[in-house]
Structures are given as C-alpha cells and as structure tokens.
Amino acid sequence: MYKVIFTLVLAVASFMGIQAQEFQGMAVYESKTSTSDFKTRMERNKNMTPDMQNMIEERMKKMFEKTFILNFNKSASIYKEEEKLEASAQAGGGMRMMSSMTGGGGTYYKNVKEKSYTIDKEFMGKEFLIKDSLPNLQWKMEGETRVIGGYNCFKATAVRPASKTDFRNFRPKKEDAATTKPADAAKKTSILDELDMPKETVITAWYTPEIPVNQGPENYWGLPGLILEVNDGKTVILCSKVVLNPKVKTEIKASSKGKVTSQKEFDETVLKKMEEFRDMNQGRGGNGGMRMRSGG
C-alpha cells in the first residue's frame, strides 16, 4: 500500500516538474522614447526647413518607436525586435548604427538563474557577441498597484548609472543665450557636441506576481513577477499582449555568432567610433554632423 502511494506521489512530482520545465510564455512590448526636446531644438533652428524637420521626425520615430517580442520560461528569455521588412530594406549603415544604440538590432538572451546575458549585435558591419553579468538592480518596493492588461501589478523603483552608448539616454544641452559666445557656437561641429548624458536614470517598473517569473524586457529583471511596464528616463516600454504556454514553443537559447566581448569592451568600441565621427566632421569644416542616410 505504502509502495503504491509512494509511486503515485513520485509520478505526480515528476509530472509537475516536467510541466514547470516546459512552461513558456510570450509577451509583446511597445517601446517609445520621447523626442520632444529634440523637436523643440529643431523648431528653433532657422536654417532647417519644415520638410527637413518632417523627414528627421519620421526617421526618429522609426528609431525610437519599436515593437519587441519576449519569449520566456522559468529561468531564461530571449528579447528581440519585431522584424519589419520596410525598415530592413531602407536602413543604411548610419541608420543601423543608430538602431543598435536605441535598443534594437540583435537578440537579448537573459539567464536569471546564472545571472548572465548574451547579446548578438551588428555594429559598423561587424558581428559582436556581448557576454556579461546581469545588472544588479536594487529594487525598492513602492506599494502602489494598478492593472495592466488584466493583470494586477505592483510598483518598484531602482536607480542605476546611465549607459553612455544608449542613444535613448542622450538629451540636447541646455543653452544660455547670455553665456553662449559666437566662438563657442562655431566649435560645435557634431551632433555629439550638442548632446548631454545624465549620470544616472531612475527606473520605475510594474510587475505582476500572477506570472511568477523573474523576467522582463531588455535587461530589466529581478522582481517576483513578469515586468509588464518600464519607465526608464525618457523611454517607456509597455506590454501589449501576453500568451502563456503557447502551442508553438520557441527555442530559448543564447546566440553563438560574433566576436565575443564584454559590455565594457563593446561600449568602448562604440564610443571610439562616435569620436571618429566627430573628428571626421570637424575635418569637413563642421557642416557634416552625424548624418542618417536612408540609403546603403
């Protein structure tokens, strides 16, 4: 009798273990970064025609408004931008570089069990495989609640250093007409000279314990439930759809293509290339700026 009970308990435990192991979910996120400060700066530029403003606004919209898919299980996830044929066909080198600096381009694999991540990114025609440890976000539980997509969510906040290679963190420098000299204005030969970077950003996340996975979009993680919304600086990432245990399973594993590098080494490569852009434009007499061409 005891042997039968033990066998039944073992079978149930094994079944539950298999179910937990096979558990998988899919979430769709809409990412949007505010460009209002850049728009205000353009409107003040008397040398920029309305057509030029509209063209730049349209390109910025494509760069700063993206859709991502997160496939996750209990221990790992992959986060990737939804592919758009139109964007892929039109993106030139400059646009692809900017895309990689605005959260797009490549697959973001997170393993919360090992506290590590792997990203495959193309930058300036080269394939990189970034491998590093997940950021140690010190979340503070705020106690506020709200409903997102039918799920009860709780608020949490954290503060972390701003990434110097994430273009979404940049903002136009404030100009003081009383202190800005003509000579200083003449020195501004690149868009990089017009931008400023905050030292740190405040993250506000909304997570739901009703989906008990330690996951979220991009590199956000570490809360007792799936993160459905993130406000990070000027960027808002909002979940628009969740599917639990989809019929078609997605293979969740890290990419293996590209030159293996750390996040620090990759950031140094990007910053060096940005400096080269600035030097190149200075050599052209300051009329170039960082151009974003739609052609290849």
Q: Kindly report, residue by residue over 163-196, the tens digit of the pLDDT.
A: 777 767 666 666 544 444 544 444 444 445 556 6
Residue 8: φ, ψ to 5°: -65, -45
HSE, CB side, 13 Å, CA atoms: give it for residue 92: 8
If one compares 119 and 123, the residue with the highest pLDDT of the two is 119
In this predicted structure, what is the pLDDT of residue 104? 52
Distance (Å) of CA 64 to CA 96, 101, 133, 260: 13, 10, 26, 27
Q: 51: buried, middle or exposed (CB in 10 Å: 19+, 13-18, 0-12)?
A: exposed
Residue % of the chain over a pLDDT of 70: 60
If one compares 106 and 287, the residue with the highest pLDDT of the two is 106
pTM recorded for the entire structure: 0.73
Q: Where are the alpha helices (DSSP H) in the chain?
A: 2-22, 36-44, 50-64, 85-90, 93-100, 182-187, 263-283
